[in-house]
Amino acid sequence: MNNKFEPRFGFVNFAEIWNGRLAMMGILIGLTTEVLTGQGILTQMGIG
């Protein structure tokens, strides 16, 4: 079967893989900014 016609939205493997990758990047960027600034993420946004 050709994967060219596999849906890319909803709970499909393609969407879940990209969701996980973007979540990992967000966590890494958040932790990096905490280390570089010495402030938590909420403090940087003005919430905490």
Question: Do 12 and 6 form a contact (C-beta atoms < 8 A)?
Answer: yes
* Residue 41 pLDDT: 87
What is the pLDDT, as a whole number, of residue 7? 77
Q: What tens digit of pLDDT does each residue of 1-33 get?
A: 556 777 777 788 888 999 999 999 999 999 999
End-to-end CA distance of the chain: 52
Q: What is the DSSP-derived secondary structure letter of residue 45? A: H
SS3 for 47?
A: coil
Cα separation, 19 vs 3, in Å, equals 19
DSSP 11: S
CA distance linking residue 45 with residue 43, whole number of Å: 5
